[in-house]
Amino acid sequence: MREYRLIDADCHVLEPKHIWQTWLPKKHQDHAPRLVKDEAGGDAWQFNDGKPPMKIGLVTTAGQRYEDMKWEGSTYDSIRQSCFEPKARLEDMDFDGIDAEFMYPSQRTMYYFMRNKEDVDFHRAGIQAYNNFMRDEFCATDPERLFHLAQIPNLGVREAIAELKRNKEKGVRGAIISAWPAGNDTLGDEDDRFFAAAVELGMPISIHINIQRSRSSTGPLTGPAAIGNMAMAGMLNFPPIMCELIVSGVFDRYPKLQILGVEVDVGWIPTALEQLDNFYWRNRTHTGLTIKHLPSEYFHRHFLCTFIEDKVGVNNRYDVGVRNMAWSTDFPHHGCDWPYSRKIVGEMMRGVPADERHLILAGNICRVYGLS
C-alpha cells in the first residue's frame, strides 16, 4: 500500500479547454462556458453574455514571482501545464514532494451552473459533467494520488443525495456543498436527510470557505477591500457556518458526521470556540437551543479544517486540536508556494513532534478519507 507523508488537503484544477465540449451533453453546448480573451490578450471563461469573464491569472500562478501575479494576460500556453493536465500535475507534485492531492472545483465555475434554478436539467448536467471529468479523466491518471471532491448541486435534498450516491458508487471519497442541501438560507429539518445519507455512505462533507445564501449576494470587491477579503475570507465566512452546524444539533442526531472546513485557516479556532461556549451557555435557555455537549466538544469530534500558511495555528495546535487541522497548498492559485512546499512546511513545523507533524501533514486526511 502507498505511504502518504505529505498530502495537499486543498488544491484545484483549471478547467481544460476541452472540458465542456467533451463532457457536457450536446443539447447544452449552446449555454456552456466558452473561452474568450481578456483585455490583455489572456484567456478567460465567459459565462454570461454582457458580464465580465472569469480571467485565469490569479488561479494559475504556480511558480510565478509575487510581483508578476495579476488577473489579466495569462493564457493556457503561458501557464504551467500542471494547472489543467494530469500527467504534468503528477510531475510537479513529484518535484514539490507531494504524495497526494485532494482537489476542489472552482466555485466561480460551479456557481454558474448552481445559480441557474430555472433550467434544472442544465444545472444538473453541468455539475455532473464536472464531476465526471474529474473522476474519469483527471484523477483516473493516478487514483492513488489524485482525489477529487464531488460537487453537490443546489437543487434540493433529493437531487443532492442522488449526486452524493452516484459519486460514492464510482469510488469518490467525499463531497463539497456550496449551499445548504435544501437550498435555504439557514439550516433546517429537511437538510437532515442529506446528512443522514452522508453518514450512511461514509462520505465526509466539505465546505470551501463559504455557503451561498441569497441574502448575502454581493459583487466582486476591488482595491483594498479585495486584499482584506482574500486574507480574511476563511476567518470571516466559516466561523458562523461552523457555529450554525454545531448549535443546530445535527451532530447529536448524526454522531458520525464529518465536516471539513476548507481553506479557512486554524489560528482563529481557539478563541472562536471559547466565545461560542460562553455565549451558548449564557443564551441557551431563552433561545431554546439544547445540545448534549459544549459546542467546542463537537468541533473536536466532527471538524477538520485546512490551512495553507498558519504559524499561529501550528503554535497553538493543542488548543486547535492536532487531529482537527490539515495542511494544504491551494495549488495553482495565488496562495500556493510551489515548488517550495517542503521549505514552507519545515519552517511552520519547526519544533513540532514527529507524530503530530504526521497527523497535520497526512495522517488526519488519511483517517477522514480512509486512506492507508
State mean pLDDT over 166-184.
Answer: 97
Kindly give, in sequence order, each residue whose CB lies less than 8 Å from that of residue 282, ignoring residues fewer than 6 positions away. none
Range in 93-102, 161-170, 235-244 the model is least confident about: 235-244
For the chain, which domains are there? Answer: 7-30+81-369 (3.20.20.140)
pLDDT in tens, 122-131: 999 999 999 9
pLDDT in tens, 37-70: 999 999 999 999 999 999 999 999 999 999 999 9
pLDDT at 221: 53
Kindly give, in sequence order, each residue whose CB lies less than 8 Å from that of residue 146, ignoring residues fewer than 6 positions away. 86, 89, 90, 100, 101, 103, 138, 139
What percentage of the chain reaches a pLDDT higher than 70? 94
Task: Tell me: pLDDT of 293 over 80.
Answer: yes
State mean pLDDT over 224-239.
Answer: 66
- Count the Cβ atoms, other than its own, within 10 Å of residue 358: 16
pLDDT at 199: 98
pLDDT in tens, 324-337: 999 999 999 999 99
pLDDT at 116: 87
- The per-residue b/e assignment along 234-265, b for 16 or more CB within 10 angstroms, e otherwise, is bbebbbebbbebbbbbbbeebeebbbbbbbbb
Task: Tell me: pLDDT of 233 over 70.
Answer: no
Kindly give, in sequence order, each residue whose CB lies less than 8 Å from that of residue 97, ignoring residues fewer than 6 positions away. 6, 341, 342
Nearest CA to 181 out of 207, 216, 201, 202 is that of: 207
pLDDT at 213: 82
Residue 332, phi then psi, degrees to nearest 5: -100, 25
Cα dist. 353→60, 190, 265, 317 in Å? 34, 44, 21, 11
pLDDT at 215: 62
pLDDT at 230: 56
pTM score over 0.75: yes
Nearest CA to 65 out of 368, 362, 340 is that of: 340
